Amino acid sequence: MFSSLSDNLDKTFRKLRGVGHISEKNIADALREIRIALLEADVEFGVAKDFIANVKEKAMGAEVLKSIKPGEQIVKIFHDELEALLGADQAPLDLNPPARILICGLNGAGKTTTSAKLAARLKKEGRRPLLVACDLYRPAAIDQLATLAKQIDVPVYTPDASEKDVVKVAKDALAWAEREHGTVILFDTAGRQEIDERLVEELKRLHAFLQPKETLLVADAATGQQAVSVAKHFDEAVGITGIILTKLDGDARGGAALSMRAVTGKPIKFAGEGEKLDQLFEFHPSRMADRILGMGDIVGMVEQVAGKLNEEDAMRSMQRMQEGKFDFTDFLDQMKMIQKLGPLEGLLGLMPGFNKIKKQLPSNAFDTGKLKRTEAIVLSMTPDERRRPEIIKGTRRARIAAGSGTTLPEVNTLLKQFGEMRKMMKSPGKMKGMMKQLGGMGGGGMGGLGDMLKGLGGKFPF
């Protein structure tokens, strides 16, 4: 999401690092470029102005101007101020009983899906969440919440279609919740295309009745400048306690994330990245500041991978690689593991400096269609063919192409690439080099990862 802002900031900071002596003019020029970058990223004008003033005050200090590496000092000042702007510390939910969470926001922001995502997350933490459908204006909203609740196996209260009093729905839902013995109740409320008085008054009545511990505003990261007025309006109406940003995996410019926290003073508690119900993550200001400055988020990446991969399966595949026994059955397992991680581009986006490497990769390096076609080819093989790909000759190749809905050249290319990959795995020297590259992914240097990704994008089939 912050790729454009990150690129612009990177250019500015590279200029500063390349200057032997920092002067007031250098700093003024850099801050002018940074201000333009922030405004282009849809950061609210007042927020950008105050932010630049804070950075300037600290960057003009004598200890910076006289330091050995003033460019690095200014980057650190910018990082610290960015982290403070985003909220400094991660803000946990208040789940002390009675734990009631009111979810509000405009239509299209993703309130209903976010309610289910948050319920799934709370369930994973060992709590017993309950969902309540309080959107009485959009018929599909109640059905959507019920469908999502079924997917995550969480009880849901759905009112009668004829009911129009949201407070009565909430009262009946609380009685139902007592019978269900839930520990956290999430209320998914109605939204509008724009803020209107009817929505606000209804929300006020519901809020006054429930007295929720948390009132969370769900905001689309792509909203841009409008996000500030939306956040202020909801905060003035019901006093929001936190913000959940959705669609952080999109191509939004990111200004909403920087502006809403500054304008409302309320923390961003979670961020949604992707459509899957397990793709809701705690918002850590320091990690987000790292991402904006191209430093990546290794901790976030490890957390995502650890939560979705089976360690025993991963170790078994690694063992077979090292022993040179890796076959198409193992390869199929690897593809399924990759698909569990969600969009690979988003995951690797958490690596330090990935935006620079991404520009050097082939355009189809993260093509999910290519992955699915590859999977179809492997699934069209017999168990014996997967174990012994060397037996796949002319007629077998034609049969596999027809069965997978692909072409003979695609089958030939996959077999050739897989053969090259197996040769590498059987070569102790090359395998050691590959493991070294993988081992260095978490460090400061990016050369190994860059070489590996280029290889994956062009030479290998995944």
CATH code of 286's domain: 3.40.50.300
- Is residue 91 in some structural domain? no
Q: How would you list the strands of the sheet with 184-189, edge to edge?
A: 156-157, 129-134, 184-189, 99-104, 214-220, 242-246, 268-272, 280-282
- Report whether 234 contacts 218 (CB < 8 A): no
Taking Cα atoms as reference points, which of 129, 121, 135 lies closest to residue 99?
A: 129
Asked if residue 262 has pLDDT above 90, the reply is: no
Domain boundary among 295, 314, 344: 295
Q: Based on the fold, state whether residues 348 and 308 are members of the same structural domain.
A: yes
- Report whether 258 contacts 9 (CB < 8 A): no
pLDDT at 272: 86
Asked if residue 59 has pLDDT above 60, the reply is: yes
Query: In terms of DSSP bridges, do strands 129-134 and 156-157 run parallel, antiparallel, or are they unpaired?
Result: parallel
- Is residue 61 in some structural domain? yes
Q: Based on the fold, state whether residues 48 and 105 are members of the same structural domain.
A: no
CATH number of the domain encompassing residue 78? 1.20.120.140
Mean pLDDT of 20-48: 81
Q: Based on the fold, state whether residues 282 and 431 are members of the same structural domain.
A: no
Per-residue pLDDT tens over the stretch 178-232: 999 999 999 999 887 677 788 888 899 999 999 999 999 998 877 766 777 888 8
Per-residue pLDDT tens over the stretch 413-436: 889 888 887 777 666 555 455 444
Asked if residue 11 has pLDDT above 60, the reply is: yes
- Residue 424 is part of which domain span? 303-458
- Is residue 94 in some structural domain? no
pLDDT at 75: 77
pLDDT at 462: 43
- Is residue 400 in some structural domain? yes
d(CA 138, CA 454): 47
Annotated binding site for GTP, which residues?
105-112, 188-192, 246-249
Average pLDDT of the chain, as a whole number: 78
pLDDT at 455: 43
Give the 3-state secondary structure of residue 455. Answer: helix
Residues 6+ apart with CB under 8 A from 188: 103, 111, 112, 115, 131, 132, 133, 134, 135, 141, 145
Domain boundary among 275, 295, 315: 295
Given the structure tokens 């174990």, which residue do they identify? 387
d(CA 349, CA 370): 20
Q: Based on the fold, state whether residues 200 and 311 are members of the same structural domain.
A: no
Asked if residue 387 has pLDDT above 80, the reply is: yes
Asked if residue 258 has pLDDT above 60, the reply is: yes
Q: Based on the fold, state whether residues 201 and 343 are members of the same structural domain.
A: no
Annotated binding site, which residues?
105-112, 188-192, 246-249
- Is residue 246 in some structural domain? yes
Taking Cα atoms as reference points, which of 105, 91, 118, 134 lies closest to residue 242?
A: 91
- Is residue 310 in some structural domain? yes
Q: Based on the fold, state whether residues 402 and 452 are members of the same structural domain.
A: yes
- Is residue 92 in some structural domain? no
- Report whether 246 contacts 114 (CB < 8 A): yes
Per-residue pLDDT tens over the stretch 311-346: 666 677 677 776 677 788 888 877 777 666 666 555
pLDDT at 183: 93
Domain boundary among 247, 263, 295: 295
pLDDT at 151: 95
